[in-house]
Chains A and B, each alone.
Chain A
Amino acid sequence: MAKKTPKPEELSKVDYRRPRKGWMDIPVEFKEGMFCNGTRPGYLETVGMPNPRKWAPKDEDWKLPENWKEIVLNGMQERLEKYRSFRLFMDICVRCGACADKCQFYLGTGDPKNMPVLRAELMRSVYRRYFTTSGKIMGKYAGGRELTLDVLKEWWYYFYQCSECRRCSVFCPYGIDQAEITMIGREILNLLGLNTDWIAGPVANCYMNGNHLGLEPHTVKSNIEFMVDDIEEITGIKVEPTFNREGAEILFVAPSGDLFGDPGTFTAMGYMMLFHEIGLDYTWSTYASEGGNFGSFTSMEMGKRLNYKLYAEAKRLGVKWILGGECGHMWRVVNQYMDTWNGPADFLKVPVSPITGTRFENAASTKMVHIAEFTADLIKNGKLKLDPSRNDHLRVTFHDSCNPARGMGILDEPRYILKNVLNHFYEMPEETIREKTFCCGSGAGLNASENMELRMRGGFPRANAVKYVHQHHGVNMLANICAIDRAALPPLMNYWVPGVDVAGVHELVANAMVMKGEKERTQDLRLEDLPEKEGAENV
């Protein structure tokens, strides 16, 4: 069982002193609370991944196949040939150190192996030894090292202490994308059955049921219908979502976390209220019931397999295009991989908003529009009646989720929406937002419970910036557009900045949106009394 996370006062004392020995001479130490459980065999069997067996990261014996070293080196070879980016990233780093202090996991742990340059060096050293002439001949003198079991374990420990957020890549003068190195690293580890339980579980669920949680079709429907009842209680309006409806104009895909856990469920209510208000001809799918893709935290191949259902379902239902909800890594996948994995989706139409007529040229190829773009366009064209004073009890800041921000440049749309639906908006310091945003500390499948200390450490820089606006401007709500954020930020805030709550952008939209025929609102989407209404009663 996971150890208790130390108190914030203790955790915030990070030791940045230089270790006495060189990094190659310091063996990896598995610290409790800093890593996830190893995957159980059943999850790997479900998707046919190699080497399913019971194992634990702290075990001496990881029960690897006898020829594990050959598998790893062949795996590297294959990927060096397949991905030019990978070979380039192995070759071109000059170790300038620009990235070193940009990683929230380094800032939160002080562990030099969490410097992006050194995290990459863990693999680069093996690359030099086995794949470059100088390394083959001169070994350590050319920065190479032998691939040993300890090295493999070190890979595992540190490639699962990276959230693939790509903050470091913003600062790299060569543009080396550390996330891609981590992704390849994890992919190679998965050749030996070395995934985490928290990633492999959602992958298996998604493969079997279409979503990470493993929600069955009738459960998806039941959860959504439950939200419909809550919406009716709040607004007096019965919204009527449809499921798997052939001939709908738009297929809507959200992260499944929004269909299960608070505060994501409030975001999901927000989507449905918005769609009802503008009369959108859309359908949910109980098959393509997940926007996220934990497969992409496993291997390119697994990412592709799980992503496949989106286009397949769009085709089956005969929709024109796909609208995607407030999900994080879904958008990295959509924007950067989907088109070549499972596209081109020529059977779909270039997305055009049926309400405003805006043609989303940026989505001309993928045919998938981000809901922040869609809603910002509605507001810009004056299609929504908004009463921002309904959010007056909130003082809001916006956390740029790594993937929509750095993976596709969704920076201004959510801010534009927020400034239109509420009156009190404050930015965190500029080096912690937009392209330079800090990760929640739990992305890329790190949002388990047994690694809570790692999450609190990795989220420390983000929390620190929230604390700044909390203290200076009384910020009490952290808005975001990612389901991992909505799951990971509440405990992070409770730990570092108590008094700050977490909400998806569309929850705040729906709070402010004046719907046709609605009753006078006395409650927000959380069924909590609106403060001004309380005040009115007291007058």
Chain B
Amino acid sequence: MSFELNGKVYETDDDGYLVNLDDWNEEVAGYIAQQEGVDMTEAHWEVVNFLRDYYQEYKIAPMIKILIKEMKKMFGPEKGSNAYLYQLYPAGPALQACKIAGLPKPTGCV
């Protein structure tokens, strides 16, 4: 599968995750978010940016509990909860936010 944006073709897997992680930029993220029905606000970007920073270092999306704890540390207790993340990303932070952040889907016994 693939999609086209501003004259460039982006390859995705069958679930719409970017195949080439280097393809990611904010425009691409905006497009994927739109497809997911997510209206990106500053709060949404906080999560996406954290995911990308984490991925740079660890080469995988963070465990949800790491995401929650780090959000709490960086942006305050009201943002460090599962409920808050689900409010931003109704299909789940692990799947939807990672997809918008251009991270691959974890595989295996998960």
Contact = CB atoms under 8 A, between A and B. Distances in A.
Contact of A265 (B58, B59, B63): B63
Interface in B62-106: 63-66, 69, 106
Nearest to A261: B110
Contacts of B64: 262
Contact of A222 (B15, B58, B106): B58
Given A40-B13, A56-B14, A262-B64, A212 B59 contact: no
Contacts of A198: 107
Contacts of B106: 213, 260-261
A459 interface: no
Q: Considering residues A255, A261, A487, which has the most beta carbons from chain B within 10 angstroms of its beta carbon? A: A261
Contact of A257 (B13, B60, B65, B108): B108
B58 A486 contact: no
Given A226-B66, A261-B63, A265-B63, A202 B107 contact: yes
Q: Considering residues A40, A219, A483, which has the most beta carbons from chain B within 10 angstroms of its beta carbon? A: A219
B65 A197 contact: no
Q: Considering residues B19, B58, B64, which has the most beta carbons from chain A within 10 angstroms of its beta carbon? A: B58
Contact of B110 (A37, A218, A260): A260
A324 interface: no
Interface residues of B, number: 18
A112 interface: no
Contact of B109 (A40, A201, A223, A484): A484
Contacts of B60: 213-216, 219, 260
B16 interface: yes
Nearest to B95: A449
Nearest to A257: B109
Interface in B33-51: none
Interface in A246-298: 255-257, 260-262, 264-265, 292, 294
Nearest to A57: B14
Given A218-B58, A260-B63, A1 B109 contact: no
A180 interface: no
Given A219-B59, A449-B15, A483 B107 contact: no
A292 B64 CA distance: 22
Given A213-B60, A219-B60, A1 B107 contact: no
A21 B108 CA distance: 39
Contacts of A260: 60, 63, 106, 110
B36 to A, nearest CB: 11
Contacts of A294: 108
A307 interface: no
A207 B70 CA distance: 31
B108 A256 contact: yes
A375 interface: no
Contacts of A2: 15
A431 B82 CA distance: 38
Contacts of B16: 1
A280 B62 CA distance: 29
Given A37-B13, A216-B58, A450-B15, A223 B108 contact: no
B63 A223 contact: yes
Contact of A205 (B13, B63, B107): B107
B66 to A, nearest CB: 6
Contacts of A483: 109
Contacts of B15: 1-2, 37, 449-450
Given A226-B66, A447-B109, 13 more contacts: A37-B13, A40-B13, A198-B107, A202-B107, A205-B108, A213-B108, A213-B110, A216-B59, A216-B60, A261-B106, A262-B64, A292-B109, A294-B108
Please name the 8 residue pairs, one residue from A and one from B, whose CB atoms are nearest each other, closest first.
A212-B108, A257-B109, A483-B109, A201-B107, A261-B110, A202-B108, A219-B58, A37-B14
Interface of A: 1-2, 37, 40, 56, 197-198, 201-202, 205, 211-216, 218-219, 222-223, 226, 230, 255-257, 260-262, 264-265, 292, 294, 327, 447, 449-450, 483-484, 486-487
Interface of B: 13-16, 19, 58-60, 63-66, 69, 106-110
